[in-house]
Structure 1
Amino acid sequence: MNVTKPLALAATALLLATGAAWAQSSEVRIGVALEPPALDPTAGAAEAIDVVVYQNIFEGLTRIDQNGAVQPGLAESWEIAEDGLTYTFSLHEGITFHDGTGFDAEDVKFTFDRILAEDSVNAQKALYEPIAAVNVVDPQTVEFQLSRPDGLFLFNLGRGDAVIVAPESADNNASEPIGTGPFAFVQWDRGSRVILERYEPYWGEAPALTKATYLFISDTATLTNALLAGDVDGTNNFAPEALAVFENNPQFKVLVGSTEGETILGTNNAKEPFSDLRVRQAMAHALNRQEIIDGATYGYGVPIGSHFAPHHPYYLDLTGTYPYDPDAAKALLAEAGYPDGFSATLKLPPVAYARLSGQIIASQFAQVGIKLELISMEWAQWLEDVLGNKDFDLTIVAHVEPFDIGIYADPNYYFGYDNPDVQALNETLNATIDEGERQRIAQEVQTIIAEDAVNGYLFELAQTGVWNAKLDGMWQNAPIEGVVLRDIHWVE
């Protein structure tokens, strides 16, 4: 597929015809790397679906903002029972779906009954299993009864997997999506683009944009040419190795933020010598995080010291827990019985950040006596050997699920960390609703796993957007999948 080649060939004519006026218009053209396989986020796992539809076509009872915080969505407010088992949502009035049908509590019940049905294909169905019942109180009020308290319930309601759909149109949402959002689906030219237009009867504040076109451009060089020619107004995540073309160009703005991708040196804690805390501490001291970021992400990764996204309100900066100190690393290795170091394998999945990081870390570890054999793998093999069979010493991978610190409470997870204190804290966190208390517990867990050096905490994958300098309102961070259009607008 080469979508933009004909666009690039016509660039000069297009600019002469529309270029000067475009910046004054209320339309935007966004280049994205992947075409979605379908357009229903409740029936598919592909991130590319949410990039187009999340908070644009479809909305949930809550929504996630660009810092990862929960905000009201189709529900204007909610009440939580003292035992944390009953949530009562008050819905906004006057909302319609894009086909003109009305939205009310029956649509909410239909949506979650569909998610939890035995034949459900929802990719995150397990997140909603605490829901025991959804009861319609009246057209504007819906009650959720949970089987157990769930501290992430409101966040999970704001995911793309939980957007509200209507029984009249749900079966066709894969190809003709109909939601309640500020933009309505117009057309999908497969292999090329999806076009959205502002939904004029939208219940909330009207967006500035009247039209948005998502162009599917997988090749970096082609996207670069399309941006420079003015055929595309921006992209949410551009290849960092090619950003230099735009950084000093006044016609563009480069927005560098963070994603939910915690990139770690995954460590088999259940296997010697990594079961020894001193060995893990030594490896942590041997990591020059900035050198890895410079070499593997062209300087755009955000350093992390624990397994948590830096943009999140609960984030605690623990990058100083084990500062780069090769001498301290050697001393800890000697204390652990490895004065001459040891040999290990480093299994690398087929992504650039992992392969590049692996080469740099091998060099850094060699300086303290740890000799790494780099083993490159395809994803299927990595999933089987590392994630499934735990047949590895070390690996490098980015964990991209939002708020996934709970994996450290699972002793059967691939890195084999078994800490009863973390398991108890995670259980409490999952059952805690109070935001202040949730933050305190999450930060305590972050601190414990940092001090235990469970994994080597490297960097958060960056979101590197390139946009026309006259555009504003784009998300700098990506706490959840999506290119949210509601605040994007042209400025003089």
Structure 2
Amino acid sequence: MANPLTTAPFSRRALLAGAGIGTAYLLAGCRSAVDTQGQASSGTATAKRGGTLRIVQGADIAPTSVLAQNNVNLSFLRLVYNTLIELDHKTLEPKPSLAESWTLSPDSKNLEFRLRDGVTFHSGRAFTSADVAFTLDYIRREEVASQLKHVAKQITDVQAKDERTIAITFGKSMSNVWDLFELLLILDKDTAAKIPSGTFVGTGPFAVASYAPGSKLTLGRHEKYWKDSRPLLDGVEIAIVRQSQSMLSSLRGGQAHLAVDLAPLDAASIKGDSRFEVVRADPQDSAFYVGTNAAAAPFTDKRARQGVAWAINRERILTQVLGEIGQTSSLPWSPTSPAYDKALAGTYSYDVAKAKALFEQAGVAGAPVQVNYNAGLATNAAIAEIVTFDLKAAGLAATTTPLQGPDFQAKLTGGGLTGLFVNNHGFGQLAPATLVKGSFPFNADKNAASFDNADYKALAEKLWTTTDEAGQKSVQDEMNAFLLDQQFIVDLVVSSHTFTISNQVKGIAYSMYDYLNLDDAGIA
């Protein structure tokens, strides 16, 4: 097969090398899999063919967000669907999946994929370029959620040249084209309309056998999967277990083989148990932050927002709440991002005197402030308590405000949160433009902080459309300086999604969006 690597105008490999990325960042009690291309295997025994892998997670899957990154869907999407390409975890360069090769024009406006032959959907129908064309149309629909819609909307033409060739034309050059195709699960055009009601048909290694909303998703092996002799497993069961402690009990009792995102302290509690391993996903794309309502008092003045950044004890949050899974940071980027700057990541630290001085200068000392959080997320609740305590010590009249999950989400997306809010974000692990154009806390066009700023919009557009290596580095530096100055989102800790696995399980992998990949997984 011809070399599939793109002729893109700048190389992510070079950008990453310049940032010093590629060395595993290890934390006490956890293992990163950065040096094994998203692979997570414990022990030395060999996986065997057959058996059912049992997974537990804390919330039900969300059918309406299959083309967006939604944490509740990390466990099942890559089991049912494939993407055209898969990004290398070290270089962020694309590798073949449903597309076996491609060409990208020097201006990155014209992209042509040559599709893999012999791929079938779970229905038995052959996969063709018509399904890719359909999916590209589907993601551009207004009602379909996706953080990469800003890239998809730049598509001006899609041509299925034959059953195995598809040509895509973009209206502008963009620095994050490949991020779209890492996220874009290829849908079956004949059944996609049924996805919101829980019908999932893909080309992936497992087909849906049954789905009981709020309870369990059961998958069986796709016997005509395009990877020879894969998958090894007969099936997968994903059970919804609402409490982290109950998930942990399922693991210890042998009812489950794998838990997705145990509460960090629960994960840390079994680090000495030789039966299990806690694997920290190497994209490091789960960043905890305090958001501000920058459009309303007392945080319209950036000095007040900077005061919040100095007031919070990040080290305490990392140790006491996150079990040291992660690293403190004033930047939103994962250490795998070309925009990450280790020196700048330590810009803000715990300094009550500086916080008090800034609150005084901004005229907000003693102001009442709500610290909103989703009451259903124990980790966020614990962070909110620390944030509230620290802000009181720095001179604000802070109170914690728990909200039920649907209420918190509605106010977050609708701009109805007053004061501050505790949450976590992703998208710091890929092309920097994906964060500032797609991640809701940072989206320059409309964001969770109600931060509407012409300079920010222009800078985000520049980061998105600058495609030469030197230009990208310069704009990344500009963006870092802007974000650190404005502090409409106060980043605290860059952490990771975790998979807590039994030592019976071998060969687990995951994508750069942390979707579980069980192509090579088995039970010893």
TM-score (norm 1): 0.80
Indicate if the aligned counterparts of 1:247 and 1:254 stay in contact, CA closer than 8 A. Answer: yes
Aligned to 2:9: none
Residue 166 of structure 1, aligned match among 188, 199, 205: 188
SS of residue in 1 equivalent to 2:508? coil
For each residue in 1:71-97, what CA deviation from the matched residue of structure 2 results, as whole angstroms up to 9, or x when unmatched? 432122322234433211122233233
* Corresponding residue number in structure 2 for 1:277: 302
Match in the other structure for 1:226: 250
Pairing 1:255–2:292 present: no
Residue 82 of structure 2: aligned partner:
59
Of stretches 448-457 and 174-183 in structure 1, the one that deviates more from structure 2 is: 174-183
Q: Partners in 1 of 2:65 and 2:353 — Cα distance?
A: 54
Displacement after TM superposition at 1:321 (Å) = 0.6
Deviations 1:13-49 (A, max 9, x none): xxxxxxxx9975543222233343659935x986544
> Could you list the runs of 5+ residues in structure 1 that have no partner in the other structure?
1-20
How big is the shift at 1:144?
A: 0.9
Deviation (angstroms), 1:320: 1.1
**In structure 2, what is the equivalent of residue 182 of structure 1?**
205
CA distance in 2, matches of 1:278, 1:97: 55
CA displacement at 1:251 relative to structure 2: 0.9
After TM superposition, the structure 1 = structure 2 runs for residues 3-402 of structure 1, keeping only pairs within 5 Å, are 26-27=50-51, 28-36=53-61, 38=63, 41=66, 47-49=71-73, 51-54=75-78, 56-64=79-87, 69=92, 70-116=94-140, 121-124=143-146, 126-127=149-150, 128-159=152-183, 162-170=184-192, 177-188=200-211, 193-204=216-227, 206-207=229-230, 209-218=232-241, 219-257=243-281, 260-317=285-342, 318-336=344-362, 342-350=367-375, 351-383=377-409, 387-390=413-416, 392-400=418-426
CA distance in 2, matches of 1:289, 1:327: 16
Matching residue of 1:484: 517
Q: CA RMSD in A?
A: 3.6
Contact 1:60 1:163 (C-alpha < 8 Å) held by counterparts? yes
Whether the aligned pair in 2 keeps the contact of 1:306 and 1:447 (CA below 8 Å) is: no
The CA deviation string for residues 60-119 of structure 1, in whole angstroms up to 9 with x for no partner, is: 2223566793443212232223443321112223323334332222222233334446xx
3-state SS, counterpart of residue 250 of structure 1? coil
Alpha carbons 1:116, 1:129 under 8 Å: kept: yes
Paired AA for residue 518 in structure 2 = L
- List per-residue Cα deviations over 1:279-319 (Å, max 9, x = no partner): 33333222210112333334435422122234445433333
| C-alpha separation in 1, matches of 2:198 and 2:373 | 36
Match of residue 7 from structure 1: none
Q: What displacement does 1:142 show?
A: 0.7
Q: 1:440 to 1:183 in 2, by over 3 A?
A: farther
Give, as a single letter, the amino acid of the residue that structure 2 aligns with 1:320: G
- Give the Cα separation in 2 of the matches to 1:361 and 1:388: 23
Following superposition, the deviation at residue 200 of structure 1 comes to 4.6
Counterpart code for 1:450? L
Equivalent residue letter for 1:86? N
How many Å apart are 1:199 and its aligned residue?
3.6
User: How many pairs does the alignment contain?
Assistant: 463
Give the Å deviation of 1:427.
0.7
CA displacement, residues 422-469 of structure 1 (integer Å, 9 cap, x when unaligned): 322211222244567546534541342023333321123542321112
466-475 vs 128-137, which moves further? 466-475
Within 2, Cα distance between the matches of 1:91 and 1:327? Answer: 60
Shift of 1:237: 1.6
The aligned counterpart of 2:3 is none
Counterpart in the other structure of 1:14: none
Cα distance in 1, alignment partners of residues 311 and 171 from structure 2: 46
Q: Following TM superposition, by how much is the alpha carbon of 1:179 offset from its aligned partner in structure 2, in angstroms?
A: 2.2
SS for the counterpart of 2:270 is: helix
Q: Secondary structure at the match of 1:243?
A: helix
The percent identity for this pair of structures is 24
Query: Which residue in the other structure is 1:460 paired with?
Result: 494
Aligned partners of 1:281, 1:153: CA distance in 2, in Å? 33
**2:452 & 2:215 partners in 1: Cα distance?**
48
Q: Give the Cα–Cα distance (whole angstroms) in 1 for the partners of residues 418 and 486 of structure 2.
A: 19
> Given that residues 263 and 379 in structure 2 are in contact (C-alpha distance below 8 angstroms), is that contact kept between their aligned partners in structure 1?
no
Instruction: Name the CA shift for 1:146/1:380 in 2 (closer, same or farther; >3 Å).
Output: same
How much has 1:212 moved relative to structure 2? Answer: 3.2
Pair 1:404 & 2:429 matched: no
The letter for the 2-side match of 1:213 is V
Aligned-partner Cα distance in 2 for 1:296–1:140: 50
SS of residue paired to 2:387: helix
Give the C-alpha shift of residue 252 in structure 1. 0.8
In the superposition, the TM-score normalised over structure 2's length comes to: 0.76
Kindly indicate whether the alpha-carbon contact (under 8 Å) linking 1:386 and 1:392 is maintained by their aligned counterparts in 2.
Answer: no
Alpha-carbon separation, structure 2, partners of 1:454 and 1:189: 40
Q: SS at the partner of 1:249?
A: coil
CA gap 1:205/1:234 in 2 versus in 1, 3 angstroms: same
Name the larger-Rg structure.
Answer: 1
- SS of alignment partner, residue 51 of structure 1: coil
Q: Distance in 1 between matches of 2:407 and 2:140?
A: 32
1:354-410 per-residue CA deviation (whole Å, 9 max, x = no partner) reads 332222122222333223133333345445555534552222222346643236463
The separation in 1 between residues aligned to 2:209 and 2:420, in whole angstroms, is 47
After superposition, where does 1:424-463 map in structure 2 within 5 Å?
424-434=458-468, 437-438=471-472, 441-442=475-476, 444-463=478-497
Give me the whole-angstrom Cα distance separating, in 2, the residues matched to 1:322 and 1:209.
Answer: 48
Contact 1:296/1:352 (CA < 8 Å) preserved in 2?
Answer: no
Change beyond 3 A, Cα 1:67–1:29:
farther
Matched, 1:471 2:521: no
Q: Is the 8 A contact 1:148 1:431 kept in 2?
A: yes
Residue 323 of structure 1: SS of its match in structure 2? Answer: coil
- Say which SS state the counterpart of residue 372 (structure 1) adopts: strand
